[in-house]
Structure 1
Amino acid sequence: MQIHVIQPGDTLAGIARAYGSTVNDIVEANDIPNPNRLVVGQTVVIPIIGSFYWVQQGDSLYSIARKFGTSYQELARINRIPVDQPLRIGLRLYIPQRPKVRSETNAYVEPRGNTVAPALENAAREAAPYLTYLAPFSYQALRDGSLKEPLLNNFPQIARANNNTLMMVITNQENDQFSDELGRIILNDMTVQERFLNNIVDTARRVGFRDIHFDFEFLRPADREAYNNFLRKARDRFRQQGWLISTALAPKTSAEQKGAWYEAHDYRAHGEIVDFVVIMTYEWGYSGGPAMAVSPIGPVREVLEYALTEMPGNKIMMGQNLYGYDWTLPFVQGSTARAVSPQQAIQLAADNGVAIQYDQKAQAPFFNYTDREGKRHEVWFEDARSIQAKFDLIKELNLRGISYWKLGLSFPQNWLLITENFNVVNQT
């Protein structure tokens, strides 16, 4: 597949001719929200086998081959040019499809309110063919060791139909907030803990969960070892059933990192105890903070490289956002940015007649606009370039895979590029 960045004067008809595709195929593949008002800087994924590259100043067959993970001899053979021929600037070279690597994918799905919105269920159904795990969020632990169940609706059936492993996500949330006191009770009161584990086993058997996933956050630092011991006990119980166990971890860059969200998460212990972890490498740019990329590639890399010093890569799933934010400027502490999907962000840029820019350091797209009330806005989101950068990082670091927070915000380019980069594992 080819990632094309819209330039001034581009039309879908011209792009289709350039790549040997069709307008309909491009529109359908990307679910383009603005086919008649393309935005400069917008990305379009061309659904072709392999890709094309136009020679630039300073390029050589060797440097181009290295860029795309092939050999200069193979590049010369495919394009029928001598290996020692100087390259003309603007020459179009065909780049063969790169080999895919094995990977696992997870996606959380979070029903809100009293019913499951049909659109959310449809989003799960559309994503499921690309997933290893489907994770309804979440079962909430209660202080007596019982469980408050989420709205499951047809999610178990969707998982079964697509050979997804159904993930039982369990949190220490009360009133939609993570509770250190609830965590303290579950991790230290052995009577409550035993009842808690029994309820998990009974529920997982009844519903058909095959991975038990603990997302315990904002724990007391004093409960670090209690959490580790709890996970050891849970692992032994779940292995008797043939189930996996996994955890969600805050994005740390050292074992000594301070803060309520970090200190009780022991990367080395989790790497030894559980089958895999999801590291929440997103929310640097968040709804309650100043405008910036949600998951800038540099900080994401720093977290993952630290994690690799504590556990093997085949136990690490990189967390990835499927959304961006629209901030009103200037940022005021206490204000809240609006979440937007990549599709909504593109439409917003089109509606306001502004170009999409790309931050090379963060590897993320953004733009600014002024609304009808004269208020300035800054939008950061994800596109084909930013998600490809994350996929390249997963392959470079030999990680287990990627975990998405969360379904329901449309990003069709992500799923196109999943199939281009990975052979996704489906566990039956």
Structure 2
Amino acid sequence: KLLGEICDRVRIMTYDYHWRGGGPGPIAPINWVAAVAEYARSVVPAEKLQIGIPFYGYNWGTGEDAVAQTWTDIQRLIEVYQPNVNLAARDSSGPIEESWFTYRRNGQLRTVWFADHRSLQAKLNLIEQMDLAGIAIWRLGNEDPQNWDVVRKELVENPSVLQRVVNSYLPDH
């Protein structure tokens, strides 16, 4: 609560739900991001909150820590191994909105989960619904190029988002 009183912005790391040292799964499932943001809003004003957005993926082998993957790495794997790429819209815990696929390399099953423009869109919709201050991206250069079309449409061309951001910097707002 004190952070919300003294900080201009609070950035929440809403990614690495499944991380390098854990088992395969979504990096930033939207249901978990929403739960974290909802809790954060209970102690920090929404107009100060920014959620972290992953612009990367992870590639897990059986019994191994995951390896971080850029969009280019993931596209190369898809081209070489031609897996069925799935969008995990939801599981038993609720909405997920991340893509994944499996493939075999040297006889070993590997699982890749990654963020793309669709998962970004879901998170930007959440920001709008929860009236949050915006996003913080980890890490530029790793992303799906279509992410920038989504950012332009939702954050640059959307007057309600622009007005909310501008207002948060003006006195008495």
TM-score band, normalised by shorter chain = 0.7 to 0.9
Which residue pairs with 2:115 in the alignment? 382
Instruction: State the partner residue of 2:74.
Output: 345
Name the residue aligned to 2:38.
305
Alpha-carbon deviation of 1:342?
A: 2.5
Question: In the alignment, what sits opposite 2:103?
Answer: 369
Match of residue 319 from structure 1? 52
Q: Which has the higher contact order (CA 8 A, sep 6+)?
A: 2
- 1: CA distance, partners of 2:54 / 2:143: 11
Indicate whether 1:296 and 2:29 are aligned.
Answer: yes
- Give the number of aligned pairs: 155
Whole-angstrom distance in 1 between the partners of 2:121 and 2:50: 16
TM-score by length of 2: 0.84
Distance of 2:102 and 2:58 partners within structure 1: 12
| Residue aligned with 2:121, SS | helix
Return the letter of the residue paired with 2:80: D
Distance 1:292 1:309 in 2: 28
Stretches of 4+ aligned residues off by more than 3 angstroms: 424-427
Contact (CA 8 Å) 2:55, 2:116: kept in 1 or not? no
Distance between the aligned counterparts of 1:410 and 1:354, measured in 2?
Answer: 20
User: Which segments of 5 or more consecutive residues in structure 2 lack a partner in the other structure?
Assistant: 91-95, 157-161
* Aligned amino acid, residue 313 of structure 1: A
Deviations 1:245-278 (A, max 9, x none): xxxxxxxxxxxxxxxxxxxxxxx11001110100
**TM-score of the aligned structures, taking structure 1 as reference length:** 0.35
Deviation at 1:355, TM superposition (A): 1.4
Give 1 or 2: higher strand fraction.
Answer: 2
Flag structure 1 segments of 5+ consecutive residues without an equivalent.
Answer: 1-267
Partner amino acid for 2:103?
Y
Letter in 2 for 1:363: E
Deviation at 1:400, TM superposition (A): 0.3
Identity %: 34
CA–CA distance in structure 1, aligned partners of residues 119 and 141 of structure 2: 19
> How far 1:346 sits from its partner (Å)?
2.5
Structure 2 CA distance for aligned equivalents of residues 410 and 322 of structure 1: 5
Q: 1:356 aligns with which of 51, 69, 85?
A: 85
Give 1:3-402 correspondences, 5 Å limit. Answer: 268-329=1-62, 332=63, 335-361=64-90, 362-371=96-105, 373-402=106-135
What CA RMSD, in Å, does the superposition of the two structures yield over aligned residues? 1.7
Q: Residue deviations 1:322-368, cap 9 Å, x none?
A: 11100002xx2xx3211112232132122101110111111110000
Match of 2:159 in 1: none
